[in-house]
Amino acid sequence: MINVAKRKSTRGYILLLNGLLFVSITFFLVAAIIAPVYATSQAATGSVRSTQSFLVANSAVEESMYRLKNGFTLHSSETLELGSATATILVSSGSDTKTIRVDSETDGFFRNIETNVSKGEGVSFNYGLQAGRGGFELGGGAVVNGNVYSNGNIIGSGGPRITGGATVASQSSPTADQSSTGPATSTNEIAFGGNATPQDFAQSFTVSTTTPVTAVRLYLKRTTTGWMNDVTLRIVTNKSGPQPNKTTLASANIDTYQVTTSYNYLSVPFDSTVSLTPGTTYWLVLDTSTTWGSNYAVAAASNSYANGIAKVGEWRSNNGGTWSSVSPSTLDSYFDIYVGGETGLIKGVTVGQNGGDVWAHEVTNVTANGTIYCQASNGNNKACNTSRPDPTEQPFPISDGNIQDWKDEATAGGVIVGNQTYGGADTAVIGPGKIEGDLNVGAGAVVTVAGTLYVTGDITVNGGASLKLALSYGSDPGVIVSDGNIKMSGGGTISGNGGSDSYVLVVTTSDCPDGPGCGSTSAVEVSGGTDSVILNAQQGTIKFTGGAIANQATAYKISMSGGTQINYLTGMADINFSSGPSGGWNVDSWSEI
């Protein structure tokens, strides 16, 4: 009996132990299942809160950019709330820069974003060399360290090199197929693009030929020198009304800085040419976004164009938009429509260093590091890639209105009558001001330019002399304008103030050597080194010889020989003049910190 009792007691302990083991295993299994689910739930909730915080931070940055671009007040510190999220905006400012930091928090989850912005350029120089229809000639080992864009042919001989890309446009014909004009001082205008005006403008027209339309010339202005939205020029089809339809046949961008506050003609080449049907109605549309407190305007005259009408409204790509008649309804804008063109040629150059494409209708005897885009070729190191259409003309970076603004600014500083000559140990400070005559700086003289300078005659710098910007410019570029010819030789230099980001823009309106009375003299002649200089002769020729060096050049025609160099710096695309036309705010960086 005693043995039986012991066995029964043992079985009871075993049952109890088995029960405890079962409960423990069950607990751990349930915990193993629940813990990841709970953790995942918590992680998902945190991810949602973190994402919400990030989106609120981005929204705060976008709100800040909207205020900058539209001229509204942006305080140095501000707090925005959205639901349970809070964003604190901190703005620090430099002379032409701002740093916008946003610290955002949502239910204990933090995200931080920092954006650096800078004032956009008033005038951009996007190529090492930019030539007009006169083209670009290189010889004798000339080198361009940068990109080249030419509206005329690029012709090389003697082994010249372009380290960037080279593009030649197919030229627009100067023949106007359609024209509408009126008095130079217009008594009527049609405003658009402002909050108190219609947003867009349109003018209908017909053509008399199937020859492709390549460019349009407009007579327009804007009401501010500050930031405005750019304008897209469109050719669109017609629909019943009549009014503009939704289909865009050709387009081109008009940068706001090329439009001045007084009426000036502006020629705009289209991005691609288009052939139209004679007698069919089409529309020119000036399409922009509303700029608060400012607007554009086109000059207009009553019944100046028999084949079309003007309208105002808002163009849309889905249905053409809504339009109404101008007041009075008889007004037509000033415009010219150009047709025709000539194909471009690149010949006899080496292009590219670690890349560098060639792009023209015809490419001959070219060695290219990158791709050759063309329709006809001979003697190249690569076959044509025919996937691209011919490039179209690029507008010059400076408009006549820009030049006039600089002249006016200089004249306001005072007028000096007669030729001004400096030599020997002479030192002088001039500008802002206008010189009615020539400016001659030679024989080691040092002349400092303290403000925008306008010379109605020639500018000559030679004999080791120096014409340079004052230190007071800081990192801002300066401007020298001449109506005559410019010559630098014998070690004479025109330069910035010595800072690494200091440049001087030298502009001439001369049309030499093709204009009357020029003889064989070019608008700009440079022999020997220059320093921190941007040369511009959009109506004439720039001629580089004898080892000349510059940072950028733009002209109707450019000639380089004798080992000359153009050393383009990327900063040329971001120069912001302290006077004259100004740009908007550009985003330099946008990142989470």
Please list, in sequence order, all residues whose beta carbon lies within 8 angstroms of the beta carbon of residue 301, skipping any fewer than 6 positions away. 180, 181, 182, 183, 186, 187, 188, 331, 332, 334
Other CB atoms within 10 A of residue 2 CB: 5
Beta bridge partners of 417: 436
Residue 348: phi and psi, rounded to 5, are: 75, 35
Report phi then psi at 122, rounded to 5: -75, -40
* Cβ contact 74:101 at 8 Å: no
> Residue 45's closest CA among 108, 126, 133?
108
Q: What are phi and psi of 511, to 5 degrees?
A: -105, 20
**CA atoms of 95 and 120, how far apart (whole Å):** 13
Report how far residue 548's alpha carbon sits from residue 525's, in angstroms, rounded to the nearest whole number. 10
What 3-state DSSP class applies to 591?
strand
pLDDT of residue 123: 63
Q: Which secondary-structure segment (H or E) carries 28?
A: helix 2-69
pLDDT in tens, 256-269: 888 999 999 988 88
Q: What are phi and psi for residue 57, nearest 5 degrees?
A: -60, -45
Distance in angstroms between the alpha carbons of the first and the last residue of the chain: 83
Specify whether the CB–CB gap between 160 and 560 falls below 8 A: yes
Q: Are 327 and 160 in contact (CB under 8 A)?
A: no
Helical residues (DSSP H) of 366-442, grouped into ranges: 400-412
In this structure, which amino acid lies at residue 517?
A: G
State how far the Cα of 171 lies from the Cα of 390, in Å rounded to an integer. Answer: 10
User: Which pLDDT score is estimated for 97?
Assistant: 79
Q: Give Cβ neighbours of residue 43 (< 8 Å, ≥ 6 apart).
A: none
Strands 148-150 and 129-139, by their bridges, are parallel
Give CA torsion, residues 278, 279, 281, 285, to 10 deg.
Answer: 50
CA angle 506, 507, 510 (to 5 degrees): 135
Helix (H, G, I), strand (E, B) or coil at 68: helix
Stretches in the chain below the pLDDT threshold 70? 1-48, 55, 59, 62, 66-73, 82-83, 95-96, 119-124, 172-174, 528-532, 569-587
Give the tokens for residue 417: 């009558």
- C-alpha 64/C-alpha 284 separation (Å) is 35
Query: Domains of the chain (ranges plus CATH)?
Result: 2-119 (no CATH), 129-138+398-574 (no CATH), 152-170+343-392 (no CATH), 176-339 (2.60.120)
The DSSP output letter for 256 is G
